[in-house]
Structure 1
Amino acid sequence: MSGVCFKIGPPRLVGVEVEWFVHDDRCPERPVPPELIHSALESLPLGGPDGTSLPSGSRLTLEPGGQVELSSPPATGLMACVEDTRRDLTALRAAFAARGLRLTGTGTDPLARPRQLVLDHPRYVAMERFFDSAGPWGRIMMTGTASVQVCVDAGDADGPQAVARRWRLVHRLGPVLVAAFANSPVLDGKATGHRSTRQTVWSRMDPTRTLAPAPDHGDPGEAWAQYVLDAQVLCVRRPEGLPWTAPPGLTFRDWIRGGGERPPTLADLDYHRTTLFPPVRPHGYLELRMIDAQPGDGWVVPAALVTALLDDPLAAEAALAALEPLERLERRGHPERPDGREHPAARAPRSEAWRRAATLAVADPELRRATLACFAAADAALGRLPGAERLRATVAAFAERYPARGRCPADDQLDALRAGTRRTPPEEPAP
């Protein structure tokens, strides 16, 4: 499993997955009929390298609540990723605008609209039943949240770009990414008291599939293998017409040991991995899943920040040093267990730093200091990247507008809510 989930090699490729809520531009509170969304998707100018994707190769999927996700192709470097994704997003926005629809980038749907599945695939029906047994959080996640996911290569076997080092950095960077890009303070038309309500929702779901793997394994591959085996099975694929509901409490390890209705296959294991939602999920590459969706082309900034910090060794070293105080915060909040291992409560996304990031974001002094230091390290890295002048200016402008002032995008939503000026974040033009 390690060789499949952690492809070894020099970091080279970058990709993003950006999710959007679909709103009626004239009456945002009105539910958008699924057939109208499908009509917009079917009108897109498909072509791309394989004839079935958008012009630059991005693929589109529909999420359970009707959110639209655009997944860029792997690009050689940050600049190519930004250019390709922007081109395909332009086509996507135009297709929806032609039908009076807008794509809204925010981590939770801020409007009080009916929350229901628009897809009846057996996977989502089983997922809904699985999560409903533990409260409303799974249903909110499926139908009322959206994100920006940044995908980067796993890394080398050793050296400054070693997999283990990058694995550690992306997890330590998590609270900063939650705080800097928190953009979900409103749900069902009401302020929740959390800058990233989306992150809070994830933290209250099934811990066997949303916590990070145990941090006390030296080998990320081994840690991930144990995590996969210990996670509860969410669904079991069956012939058409039969439900995919899994036996309650069954882990994949139990299934291997004879606990299921039939022996699992390698295809079952592969599918099981797609139902796990930790902050960082390995797919051969590393998929960072903790960032709220952003308005307009705001997704560019987290993509640039993550790539700059991971792929520039000097920036990575500076980021790790800046994140040390957050590590000490975890140790203060959760002392070691009697066996000397790290307390499970210190694991993302339920640890103290992650909790503060979701609630206070960069209004928290320690998170603000770490965030500004990471932006400074990324700025220096982008200054060393040929042709990145415009992108560097975009990242610097975000840092000045938000963390330098103790703010995040969520504060714009809260200001608008208090003023009664708008119900959904504006889609700003590309910088």
Structure 2
Amino acid sequence: MSLPQLSEVDAEDLLRCICFKTGPPRRIGVELEWLVHDLRDPRLPLSEARIAQAHAAVRALPLAAALTFEPGGQLELSSLPATSLTECIGSVSADLDAVRSVLRGQGLILTGLGQDPWHAPRRLLHEPRYDAMEACLDRNGAAGRAMMCGSASIQVCLDAGNEEPGPLGYGRRWQLAHLLGAVLVAAFANSPLRQRRRTGWLSTRQSQWADLDPVRSLAPAPGAEPREAWAAHVLDAPVMCIRDDKGPWTTPEDLTFRTWVRTGLPRPPTREDLDYHMSTLFPPVRPRGHLELRMIDAQSGEDGWIVPLAVTTALFDDPAAAETVYRAVKPLAEIAGPCRAPRNPLWTNAARSGLADPELRAVAAVCFDAALDALPRMGASTAVQNAVAAFTSRYVDRGRCPADDVLDAGLGPDLSPVQRLDHRKDIRP
């Protein structure tokens, strides 16, 4: 049975309604991507058979989080929505313990870096989606393959916000995300190396996202009403591929979803096509009913991911912290200018220089202090509060980020940066 064709009006209505589900912020989630390396020597390439065996072993685990694998073999855990920071940390930590135990038995380790520092991109998953994605992104250079096959991130998921104009309103949270996002890039930058060389960026991963595609990785135009801006952005973005159950997926050039809807060619699009099209857009903040913040590099250490989750949640969901931070980041709009994130000067400075940038360092200090004040009000454990305080002292107060430690450690013959910098453990509730 054929699915009903989607009209342009239908598509606009769906985008306005399903992408910003408003209400008081109550739930949080996190998506953790990890590189997978040899336990004893992460410089050794892994065979496809070894990766496949490890994936099969992990799939057999009874995990609470959704488990997926990225094209280069990266492992991703996507938590269920949690009603508190403590609940989210506890659930994901239990899953990670189980995954790590299985991988250790295979002689493997999860590596928390935003970009693989040793290995060239190599695609291990061969599915129509990834075949089409690679063909599409290859038109714009090498950044697409590097993103698909060698990057890892921490994605924090928060409710979109309520209808009120205050600090928890969806309009304010949308604007905050696109300014604070640059601060998060700078504070948690952790990918200064690629294929054993310095790249000149502290967040190589973020620099690659900016180069991914002329439109696909951009935020909607700033200043517009969020629902209207997102709907227009989705409809005017190029279609990555047209799915086909009977053969390879085609990758049209210069076909926007709006044109596809209007012409009905090469076949009429459906609601499922719209949903899939949205999944092929990679802005730094993606509304999916909730807000998905996608700009944070994966962090070193078994529990390093907890700090960016705790800080981001505190700055968005605690009303006092959200108001303080909003006032602190507003002047950054002048640095950003009219260009859309992540290709404006603010985001470029964050990815290149981290907290060595004086404006970003000053704002980060306000943000981390606000998070430290908010975490007790949110019921965060003493261990989590202490971890955020330690990160603030080690990095923010000194104008540094984790990438600086990676550069200091180097890629010596004996130990990897991950093994040398595994200093953030035992910070769970």
Aligned match of 1:417: 410
Aligned match of 1:337: none
CA contact (8 A) 1:382 1:389 kept: no
Query: Are 2:142 and 1:142 equivalent residues in the alignment?
Result: no
Aligned equivalent of 1:107, options 109, 114, 117: 114
How far has the Cα of 1:83 moved from its partner? Answer: 0.8
Aligned equivalent of 1:376, options 369, 379, 395: 369
Q: How does 1:23-422 map to 2 (within 5 A)?
A: 23-44=37-58, 53-54=62-63, 57-111=64-118, 113-160=119-166, 161-218=168-225, 220-240=226-246, 242-258=247-263, 260-295=265-300, 296-331=302-337, 343=338, 346-417=339-410, 422=415
Distance 2:120 2:381 in 1: 43
Amino acid at match of 1:294: Q
How far has the Cα of 1:181 moved from its partner? Answer: 0.3
How far has the Cα of 1:313 moved from its partner? Answer: 0.9
CA contact (8 A) 2:239 2:256 kept: yes
Question: How many residue pairs were aligned?
Answer: 408
CA contact (8 A) 2:86 2:379 kept: no
How far has the Cα of 1:77 moved from its partner? Answer: 1.1
How far has the Cα of 1:44 moved from its partner? Answer: 4.1
How far has the Cα of 1:25 moved from its partner? Answer: 1.6
CA contact (8 A) 2:48 2:124 kept: yes
Change (3 A) 1:313 1:422: same
Paired-residue identity, %: 51
SS state of the match for residue 289, structure 1?
A: strand
CA contact (8 A) 2:196 2:411 kept: no
Distance 1:69 1:179 in 2: 23
Amino acid at match of 1:145: S
Q: Give the TM-score normalised by the residue count of structure 1.
A: 0.91
Distance 1:294 1:419 in 2: 20
SS state of the match for residue 93, structure 1?
A: helix
SS state of the match for residue 177, structure 1?
A: helix
How far has the Cα of 1:247 moved from its partner? Answer: 1.3
How far has the Cα of 1:144 moved from its partner? Answer: 1.2
SS state of the match for residue 207, structure 1?
A: coil
Amino acid at match of 1:366: E
How far has the Cα of 1:35 moved from its partner? Answer: 3.4
Aligned match of 1:336: none
CA contact (8 A) 1:208 1:230 kept: no
Aligned match of 1:338: none
Aligned match of 1:17: 31
How far has the Cα of 1:206 moved from its partner? Answer: 1.0
CA contact (8 A) 1:7 1:284 kept: yes
CA contact (8 A) 1:18 1:148 kept: yes
Distance 1:221 1:324 in 2: 21
How far has the Cα of 1:18 moved from its partner? Answer: 0.6
Distance 2:332 2:304 in 1: 26
Distance 1:417 1:224 in 2: 41
Residues 83-142 of structure 1: per-residue CA shift (max 9 Å, x gap): 11111100011110110001101000000x242211111010011011111111111111
SS state of the match for residue 291, structure 2?
A: strand
SS state of the match for residue 404, structure 1?
A: helix
CA contact (8 A) 2:186 2:351 kept: yes
Amino acid at match of 2:334: R
Distance 1:414 1:127 in 2: 32
Distance 2:49 2:164 in 1: 50
SS state of the match for residue 67, structure 2?
A: strand
Distance 2:59 2:173 in 1: 37
Distance 1:243 1:44 in 2: 29
Greater shift in the superposed pair: 257-266 or 25-34: 25-34
Change (3 A) 1:125 1:418: closer
Residues 188-232 of structure 1: per-residue CA shift (max 9 Å, x gap): 0001010000011011121321111111212x1111110100111
SS state of the match for residue 115, structure 2?
A: coil
Amino acid at match of 1:304: A
Distance 1:8 1:178 in 2: 26
SS state of the match for residue 209, structure 1?
A: coil
How far has the Cα of 1:171 moved from its partner? Answer: 1.1
CA contact (8 A) 2:120 2:150 kept: no
Amino acid at match of 2:221: A
* Structure 1 portions without partners, runs of 5+: 48-52, 332-342
SS state of the match for residue 247, structure 1?
A: coil
Change (3 A) 1:189 1:104: same
How far has the Cα of 1:385 moved from its partner? Answer: 2.3
Distance 1:358 1:65 in 2: 23
Q: Give the TM-score normalised by the residue count of structure 2.
A: 0.92
